[in-house]
Structure 1
Amino acid sequence: MKVQGQRLFLLISFLSFAWSFSQVKVSGKVTFKNKGVAEVNVTLKDTYDGATTDANGNFSFETSEKEDHFLTFTHPNYNDVEKPISIGNQDISVNIELKEQINEINAVVVSAGSIEASDKKRATALLTPIDIYTTAGADGQISSALNFLPGVQKVGETEGLFIRGGTGTESKIFMDGSLINNYFSNSVPGIAGRDRFNTSLFKGNVFSSGGYSALYGQALSGALMLESVDLPDQSSYDFGISPIFLSAGFQRLSQDKNHSYGATLGYSMLDLMQEVFNFNTDFIDAPQGLNGDFNFRIRTKSGGFFKYYGMYDSNTMGVKSESLEPQDYDFSLVRLKGKNTYHNLSFRQKFGKYLLHAGASYSFNRSDLNFSTEKADMESDKTRILTDGNYLNFKTVLERKINRISALRGGFELNGTDEKLNFEEVNKHYKDLISSVFVETDLGFSNQLSAKIGVRAEHSSYLGKSNIAPRFALAYRLAQDWTTSFAYGLFYQNPESKYINGPANLDFQKSQHYIFQLQRASDGRSLRLEAFYKKYDQLIKFKNLEYVDNQNQYVQTADNNNGYGFAKGVEIFWRDKKTFENIDYWISYSFLDSKRDFMNYPVSVKPSFASEHTISAVAKRFIPEWKAGINLSYTYAKGRPYYDIASKNDTGQTVNYIRHEGRLKDYNALNLSFNYLPNLGKKDAKAFTVFVLSISNVLGTKNVYGYNFSRDGSRSSAVVPPVNTFVFVGAFISFGVDKTQDAINNNL
């Protein structure tokens, strides 16, 4: 037995020695751009042998495998590599240079000039529906919420997005790619129109304050691209009630969840609030409106979408103001009757490697303004301005992915306008068809470098002229959380049709944008610094004004395109959702230096709609134990300039000059709102209810938007908000769906 044991020991020792002798060492280094890459999995394919690279990219392991094999190298941020090797009795050394894996998650995104709220990959995502509804002072309106972002000027006397020294008409708004003509309700001088569209209609947006994509045109300053919801999560019934409006609606989702339809109806009136608050505006006819809409959405079997949205609204109001011409009359009166309808049909479908977007929209808008004067309780000098407009937009975009982050897209667009104006002896019929073609490419060179290059060409049948507008943007990642972007673009826009009341040799208005951005985005926090320069050329000019009973200018005639100007500035934006528990806040600052010589300006001056310094702050806090949210916002804007521009005859020529000028008092407004969710915590709740209390301009600051002047310039009156402080109280109820948890998580 002893001898047998010794023999067995010798046999095991021999086998162990033979086994160790047959082991081969495989080692090497993995690099990217001559630097070692850590955490790379190195594996001998179809075996259990392998290792992971160290901090310097080195690896080493032993194997008893023989003959031909593949050595694989894998890492989430780099392309997989397979290296053939032949294993004999000698150690093997293998060095590998990896190639970066380019993908949508890690790739840097061009963002100069724009903030996107539909792309969840972006830490700067803003203005989702819950952001808008919970921003105090925004009144649930998309355009009002944009006023708390950098680059947007606070101009209260008229509607529109005033972006970086541009007028409100130099920005355009799109729904699912199609242009929305008359996004704002009809209005009277000195009172801004409201958004016609319900914020809940849209699931996201891209707001561009400059350098926007070649897919969009006819805007000198910026663009807001709204994306409507697809299918609702489930069927529901909605009701809203407040002292100023009533609303009801429903959404029906099919059992197969492939199609839905819905409708809403609303009525608003300001009569009751006139009895409660001390209004600055004397409404002889309190503002009231009726609106309704209908929608349907169909998901195709192959994953495409048909979407239709149609709406109708009407609004009326009447305003009475003291006369600046007391020798002629005591009061000026203006009454408005407005009607509008809008239809939008869009289609999205993938065909193999191609994605087709097609959309069409039609809108009709009527603005019926009636002016008169009153003296000794007798009305006279009645004048009517009636404007009817029909607008048609059709657009098709075909897109193909080149690789994971590169794409090529192109298409064409038709934008038709047919307007009729009747005013005393002026009977205008304006027709234009703007046809456009465009092509654009996203180029992802690496996860650190990408570019967007595009060009757009347009032709106007009315002007009889064409243009070509190149666009270019470049983005580079400086570090893990830091990116920088640069954008350049050329932008054209037709002169506004309301200024075309006679023959004139006009051309496209033109602007050039130069934008540089530095951005840091980490989990829950984002910092955005942006500098820009805009150069304006071929802006319209006209010689004089025609007043309608001193209710601001309405009928002017464009004379030429000799206007010009510039705008330059710096913007800072900071948003933080992480530092303080259950608190989301952001702060924005804009510096703007701008001058223009356009319209009836006699010289180049700071435009009356541009404020040099603007600061906004928004804070939101949800308190679970109170079942409530508290929201604050504050805006400060340095006083804008104002001008009284008059005409005089100088050696037989009509010459404009500045008769009075000055600076408005600084704008200040602190806003507060409360949201209360009474059914919080009821897990089986089949309804979602929220009560809202909103107070605009809590401190009652008496802000001034501008001044009107008498014909001889001897008297003036301030243009002020209809009311200094406004309180809104309302309740919103949804049956069939509980969004309480979404509200808590700020994910509505």
Structure 2
Amino acid sequence: MKTKLLLLITFLSFTFHFAQIRISGKVTYKNKGVREVSVTLKDTYDGATTDGSGNFSFETSEKGNYTIVFTNPKYTSVEKSILIENQDLVINTEIKEQISEIDAVVISAGSIEASDKRRATAALTPMDIYTTAGSQGQTTTGYKFLPGVQNAGDNEGLFVRGGTGAETKFYIDGNLVNNYFSSSVPGLAGRERFNTSIFKGSVFSSGGYSALYGQALSSVLLLESVDMPDESSYAFNIFPFSLGGDYQHVNEKKTFSYGIDANISDLGLVTKVLNFETDFIKAPRSVSVNGNFRIKTKSGGFLKYYGSFDANSLTVSQPSLEQNYDEQQPSVNGKNTFHSITYKKKMGRYLMNLGSSFSINKNDLEIGIVNEGNKIGNVNMNTEGLYWNSRAVFERKIAAVSNIKAGFELLSENDTSSFSIFGSPQQKSSISNFTTALFAENNLAFGRNFSASLGIRAENSSFLNQWNVAPRVSAAYRLSDKWVTSLAYGIFYQTPESKYLTQSFKQNFQKATHYIFQIQRSEDNRTLRMEAFYKDYKNLVKTSVSGFQNAVLPDDGNGFAKGVEVLWRDKKSIKNVDYWISYSYLDSRREFLNYPTELYPSFAAKHNISLVAKKFVTSWKTGFNFSYTYTSGRPFYNIIVQNGENILKTEGKVKDFSSLNFSLNYLPNLGKKDAKAFTVLVAGVNNILGNKNIYGYRFSTNGEMSAPVLPAAQTFVYIGALISFGIDKTQEAIDNNL
């Protein structure tokens, strides 16, 4: 009996010692249960995962002081000390959200970004630009296939949401670029001066842009140049109208690189082969040379330089609309040089970005007046501009919830111009303006589902002798995993163009106030983006046209622009097919320049529709690209001057614009199989159906005669090759197409 009793006591003691204790509870965030939270007893194998209501339960045989840990990648880990004895435990825990740059909702109202850091489905990369039929390899032309941008082919620039081309500013690596486009004659748009391939990404803001940038009433296009090359390489391109070459060298340690690029273009042969609407006396010609270097310093800094020089010329013949002569021959000779240097370095908790750019632009426009085959005189308009800007931006991140940027920008502009008619003494003028800008912006994340940006910018113009203060506010809220909504509000100021600045009377900053609402649905390679906007314009420039010159009026103009935009992009539904559809509706009125009253802008259309589709056949290494653009008829106005007043004599609309474009790119295997070479053969046709499109009309001084403003060529055909050695980008090109 004693033996049995001893065994029973021993068994009961053993059972009691290893009795299972239940630990249970609920994990909540803002009084709501959180699923998939890992609950573990530290330094043991005991634990559980919360269910859909945030509840958990597990058993343990441990005794004594322990730590229970609650973890989930989206939330901050929580540790609690507990004492495990003989009773079950109930432990309820409130956790806090852990915000990361990946999880935090991104504010995208009014902006589209394509960069190495953020590959938005709605954005355009350089490869997107090159493979978009009808883009002609130009960044700005590629963006015309997205909502908000008007198809104003008779003028260079981005005409965004009822704004003129001058209301969009361009930046390379944060530095302002004056005269982004080459010189041209009225009615023909100048081409971009910069090769799309030098950029690795872009941010296009069609409104409500950051306080770090200013002097743009409508939008900004921020371009980021490539960094250190992976390897040394050289390349060349051959087209019937151009020839170019490029060389890039990088040292073995990849701490230093330099490069040079040169191109020459002459459309003489093309104008003889194709049927051009424009009568070229001297076909467009240009030459450009670009250079760059990049240095990684021992202290961790990165220095980047880019410089360019280009010259272009052309002469056309146009029938005169005036009674005293029958022909005019506009001719232009332009020269431009641009230099940009930037330096960035991390200094403790701060990131410092310094940058400066300098440019000189000369433009000589001569209009030859011809009657019965004899030149009877010239009208000469010559301009020269010297531009310089410097900026410094200091950035600090506080965990992942706050990003603070602050800095200053200095802009110097010196413009001189001269005008003479039929050999009369030159009328010279000179304008100098120095702009000082201070700015600050704080991006805040209030959890995974809500973020906001608060910014302010202040500017002073030495010519206007005024300060302005422009607040900028935007916010985004995540409705679900796929749906995000954004709001943006901001005030934007811009000094009038130098040709409109006058000492005769006090002028003001032009002003635009933006209101933007966006809702976007994003999933795997699919994006639906809908946006509504309203812009209110104040203090716009008003002019009176007399002959070949503009007289600036002391009155201020105003206006508005409102509309809705839709973009659907899909890379998933059809194998190896990338397509997008965009639609823009615009309602706008303006009283500016020589408009006698509020009128719908002549450079804008109510309806714009674009369809872009790309199919890459991997086995053929060939991409087939299509695009279609439809634009409802733009208005035109016959405005004359009577008794010193602008009078609207007649008005109308041109027919609707439409263009179907096609291009293909083929990646052949040239040379040895293992050779580091990359070749692309390209061909394309713009406006393949040959539609007779019209941009508008020009009128005689008295308004009695008119002539249509036409594209340089209704249908344009091209073929060429791009070949590079040193780096084989064939697979990269295929992947980007897929």
Classify the TM-score, shorter chain.
over 0.9
Partner residue of 2:647 out of 657, 662, 675: 657
- The 5 Å alignment of 1:481-630 reads 481-500=482-501, 503-542=504-543, 544-548=544-548, 555-630=549-624
Match for residue 308 of structure 1 among 305, 309, 331: 305
1:642 paired residue number: 636
Aligned twin of 1:452: 453
Scaled by the length of structure 1, the TM-score of the pair is 0.95
Q: Which residue of 2 aligns with 1:478?
A: 479
Q: Distance in 1 between matches of 2:612 and 2:533?
A: 24
CA distance in 1, matches of 2:503, 2:374: 35
Checking the alignment, whether the CA contact within 8 Å between 1:438 and 1:457 is kept in structure 2 is: yes
Which of 619, 625, 636 aligns to 1:631? It is: 625
Contact 2:112 2:120 in 1 (8 A): no
How far is 1:694 from its partner? Answer: 1.3
Question: Which secondary structure state, in structure 2, belongs to the residue aligned with residue 108 of structure 1?
Answer: coil
* Alignment correspondent of 1:143: 140
- Structure 2 counterpart of 1:142, one-letter code: T
Report the residue type matching 1:421 in the other structure: S
What are the within-5 Å matches in structure 2 for residues 241-320 of structure 1?
Answer: 241-320=238-317
1:731-746 aligned at under 5 Å gives the runs: 731-746=721-736
User: Which SS does the other structure have where 1:505 is aligned?
Assistant: coil
In 1, distance between residues paired with 2:195 and 2:6? 88
Tell me the amino acid that sits aligned with residue 650 of structure 2.
H
Residue 10 (structure 1) shift: 7.0
| Conservation of the 8 A alpha-carbon contact between 2:670 and 2:679 | no
Determine which of 111, 129, 139 is the counterpart of 1:114: 111
Q: 2:360 is aligned with what amino acid?
A: F
2: CA distance between counterparts of 1:7 and 1:198? 95
Aligned residues: 733
* Partner SS for 1:169: helix
Alignment of 1:160-179 (within 5 A): 160-179=157-176
SS in 2 for 1:632: strand
For 2:91, what is the secondary structure of its paired residue? strand
Superposed, 1:350-429 pairs within 5 Å as 350-424=346-420, 425-429=426-430
Give how far 1:717 is off: 0.6
User: Do the aligned residues in 2 keep the contact of 1:504 with 1:558 (CA within 8 Å)?
Assistant: no
Whole-Å Cα distance in 1 between the matches of residues 655 and 588 of structure 2? 19
- Is 1:224 matched with 2:221? yes
Give the one of 48, 62, 71 matched to 2:45. Answer: 48
Separation (CA, whole Å) in 2 of partners of 1:420 and 1:681: 54
Distance 2:118 2:191 in 1: 32
1:332 aligns with 2:333: no
Q: Distance in 2 between matches of 1:99 and 1:683?
A: 56
Separation of aligned partners in 2, 1:8 and 1:305: 80
Deviation per CA, 1:276-300, whole angstroms, max 9, x where unpaired?
Answer: 1111111101110000100001123
Which residue does 2:464 correspond to in 1? Answer: 463
Tell me, in whole angstroms, the C-alpha distance in 2 between the residues paired with 1:354 and 1:190.
48
**How far 1:372 sits from its partner (Å)?**
1.1
Aligned partners of 2:24 and 2:90 also within 8 Å: yes
Please report how far the alpha carbon of residue 24 of structure 1 lies from its aligned counterpart in structure 2 after TM superposition: 2.1
Alignment of 1:423-438 (within 5 A): 423-424=419-420, 425-438=426-439
* Counterpart residue number, 1:552: none
- 8 Å CA contact 2:134–2:686 kept in 1: the answer is yes
Q: Distance in 2 between matches of 1:320 and 1:606?
A: 30
Q: Is the 8 A contact 2:116 2:200 kept in 1?
A: no
Residue 82 (1) aligns with residue 79 (2): yes
- Residue 183 of structure 2 aligns to a residue whose secondary structure is coil
Output one character per residue of 1:571-612: Cα deviation in whole Å (capped at 9) or x when no partner: 001100010000001111000000001111111111101100
* Residue type of the alignment partner of 1:619: A
Distance in 1, matches of 2:202 and 2:401, equals 21
Instruction: Provide the C-alpha distance between the structure 2 equivalents of 1:732 and 1:26, rounded to a whole number of angstroms.
Output: 68
Whether 1:33 and 2:30 are equivalent positions in the alignment is: yes
Question: Match of 1:96?
Answer: 93
Alignment check: 8 A CA contact 2:293 2:306 kept: yes
Give the secondary structure class of the aligned counterpart of 2:166: helix
1:530 and 1:363 map into 2 onto residues whose CA distance is 36
**2:657 pairs with 640, 659, 667, which one?**
667
User: Which residue does the alignment assign to 2:15?
Assistant: 17
Cα distance in structure 1, aligned partners of 2:711 and 2:235: 32
Matches of 1:302 and 1:452, distance apart in 2: 32
Distance 1:616 1:9, change over 3 A: farther
Change (3 A) 1:683 1:90: farther
- 8 Å Cα contact 1:502-1:557 kept in structure 2: no
Residue of structure 1 in register with 2:130 after alignment: 133
Deviations 1:84-112 (A, max 9, x none): 11111221110111111111111111110
Contact 2:114 2:120 in 1 (8 A): no
> Could you give the per-residue CA deviations for residues 265-324 of structure 1, whole angstroms, max 9, x where no partner exists?
100000110121111111101110000100001123344311000000000100111121
Q: Distance in 2 between matches of 1:177 and 1:76?
A: 35
Aligned partners of 1:116 and 1:124 also within 8 Å? no
Following superposition, the deviation at residue 547 of structure 1 comes to: 2.7
Question: What SS does the corresponding residue of 1:144 show, helix, strand or coil?
Answer: helix
Shift, 1:119, TM fit: 5.6
Partner Cα separation in structure 2 for residue 679 and residue 667 of structure 1: 40
Q: Secondary structure of the residue that 2:550 maps to in structure 1?
A: coil
Structure 1 pair 681/72, CA: closer, same or farther in 2 (3 Å)? farther
User: What's the secondary structure of 1:238's corresponding residue?
Assistant: strand
- Distance across 1 between alignment mates of 2:609 and 2:485: 23
> What code does the residue aligned with 2:508 have?
D
Residue equivalent to 1:676: 666
The percent identity for this pair of structures is 54
Q: C-alpha separation between the residues in 2 aligned to 1:36 and 1:220?
A: 47
Give a deviation string over 1:101-156, Cα, whole Å, max 9, x none. 11111111111000000164454351111010001000110010010010000101
**Residue 539 of structure 1, CA deviation:** 0.6
Q: Deviation of residue 14 (structure 1)?
A: 5.2
Name the CA distance, whole Å, in 1 between partners of 2:54 and 2:610: 48
CA distance in 2, matches of 1:136, 1:234: 30
Between the aligned partners of 2:247 and 2:467, the Cα distance in structure 1 is 46
Tell me the SS of whatever aligns to 2:717: strand
Partners of 2:672 and 2:527 in 1: CA distance: 35
How far, CA to CA, are the matches of 1:668 and 1:83 in structure 2? 68
Deviation at 1:502, TM superposition (A): 5.1
Q: Deviations over 1:318-360 (max 9, x none)?
A: 01111212x4222111111100000000011110100111100
Shift of 1:9: 8.9
Alpha-carbon distance between aligned partners in 1 of 2:720 and 2:4, rounded to the nearest angstrom:
96
- SS of 1:599's equivalent in the other structure is coil
User: RMSD value over aligned CA atoms?
Assistant: 1.9
User: Which of 183, 190, 193 is 2:190 aligned to?
Assistant: 193
Q: Measure the CA separation in 2 of the matches of 1:187 and 1:244.
A: 18
